[in-house]
Amino acid sequence: MLIRKPADLHYSDVTPREVYLNRRRFIGAGAATLGALALPSSALATAKINGLVQTGPYHNLGNEKPSPKATVTSYNNYYEFGTGKEDPSQNAPKWKVPAEWPIRIEGEVMQPKTLSLDQVMKLAPAEERIYRLRCVERWSVVVPWIGFSLSTLLKQVQPTGKAKYVAFETYFDPKAMLSPREAGIPFPYVEGLRLDEAMHPLTLLSFGMYGETLPNQDGAPVRIVVPWKYGYKSIKSITRIRFVEKQPPTDWGIYSDREYGFYSNVNPEVDHPRWSQKEEQRLGSGFLGQGTRMATVKFNGYGAQVASLYSGMDLAKFH
């Protein structure tokens, strides 16, 4: 039997996912691990991620507890897999994530690169960060995300002085996903951040949650999490990153820039044209888990860390 060392393993080898997510702390694997090497990807259940680092000032939310995993994995916005909140959990698991997952990083950079997911995972140890995620539809969840600061990846390509924004693009499989006509928004899904937002240590490159790898409906195999912004800014299943000089288009901004501004910071002082943003409903809490209503907090409670990014800006105009 050929037993490969951790350094020889690759994402495409269909190893148990805790191996490639924690290869810096990988010590060994039992018989079950070795047997799993021969299984096709469709046969592997979501694996536990062990040895997570829990450090830094951004990971604690006082006494708030994470929302139930069942809530976060069954109530999603992921229009590629359906426009109803329950649709992604029903449709996304049928999608087979490609064994090879290259991420292109290009544009206004000194060293454009195409990295495999395996190469990306080698950049930093996995950390668990408990972040709020607040959606524009007025519901919110608290999730223990797993990943590391996006800036760790972005620094690999050395942005030039012309780089002012970072544009993101998702994977799109027309055979397995809705068409743009069916979803009502353009695909591939695109989003963007200002460069300082993308480089902020709070902005997370995530590949897991609840101690496990990401389910398809939550953005497998890798996504962005920007906790002080509305959830649609936290783009799922990314395959392309571009550094650009001008503000890039975003999917929901194309749909209606009046309703979905580029910055999309959580701000109870700025209403959505069709409803108030002053309150939110924390899913999975309250009576029978139907949700507890609470006042929305500006910047989703992360103002101490990010408010300085917008000093002097009219946040009603730049919403």
At residue 163 the predicted structure's pLDDT band, cuts being 50, 70 and 90, is very high
Backbone angles phi and psi of 289, in degrees to 5: 70, 20
pLDDT for 25 equals 36
Q: Look at residue 19 in the predicted model and tell me its pLDDT.
A: 40
- Tell me the per-residue pLDDT of 191-219, one tens digit each, with 9 for 90 and over: 999 999 999 999 999 999 999 999 999 99
Residue 23 vs residue 222, higher pLDDT: 222
- Average of per-residue pLDDT across 44-52: 59
Superfamily of domain 59-133+143-258 in the CATH hierarchy: Oxidoreductase, molybdopterin-binding domain (3.90.420.10)
Strand 279-282 relative to strand 113-115, pairing: unpaired
Interval 167-193: pLDDT, tens: 999 999 999 999 999 999 999 999 999
Structure tokens belonging to residue 270: 């700025």
- Segment 308-313 shows an average pLDDT of 97
Reply yes or no on whether the pLDDT at 246 is more than 90.
Answer: yes
48/97 Cα distance (integer angstroms): 18
- How wide is the angle at C-alpha 276 spanned by C-alphas 275 and 280, nearest 5°? 110
The reported pTM is 0.85
Place of tokens 């695909």: 187
Query: pLDDT at position 52, please?
Result: 65
Q: Is the dihedral of CA 76, 78, 82, 88 positive or negative?
A: negative
pLDDT at 287: 72
Predicted confidence at residue 285, as pLDDT, reads: 86
Tell whether the model's pLDDT for residue 32 goes beyond 50: no
Q: Phi and psi at residue 252, in whole multiples of 5°?
A: -75, -25
Give burial (CB, 10 Å; 0-12/13-18/19+) of 8. Answer: exposed
The pLDDT value recorded for residue 53 is: 63
Three-state secondary structure readout of the chain: CCCCCHHHCCHHHCCCHHHHHCHHHCCCCCHHHHHHCCCCHHHCCCCECCCCECCCCCCCCCCCCCCCHHHHCCCCCCHHHCCCCCHHHHHHHHCCCCCCCCEEEEECECCCEEECHHHHHCCCCCEEEEEEEECCCCEEEEEEEEEEEHHHHHHHHCECCCCCEEEEEECCCCCCCCCHHHHCCCCCCEEEEEHHHHHCCCCEEEEEECCEECCHHHCCCCEEECCCEEHHHCCCCEEEEEEECCCCCCHHHHHCCCCCCCCCECCCCCCECCECCCEEEECCCCHHHCCEEEECCHHHHCHHHHHHHHCCCCCCCCC
Q: pLDDT band at residue 65, thresholds of 50, 70 and 90?
A: confident
Segment 1-27, tens digit of pLDDT? 233 333 333 433 333 444 434 433 322
Find the farthest-apart pair of alpha carbons in the chain and give their distance in angstroms, rounded: 64
Query: How far is CA 48 from each of CA 7, 33, 66, 80, 209, rounded to the nearest angstrom?
Result: 20, 12, 17, 26, 10
> Do the Cβ atoms of 283 and 291 come closer than 8 Å?
yes
Give φ, ψ of 267 to 5 degrees: -150, 105
What pLDDT, on the 0 to 100 scale, is given for residue 47? 65
Enumerate long-range contacts of 270-273, CB under 8 Å, 24 or more apart: 270/315, 270/316, 270/319, 272/136
Domain boundaries, the chain: 1-51, 59-133+143-258
The overall average pLDDT reported for the chain is: 85
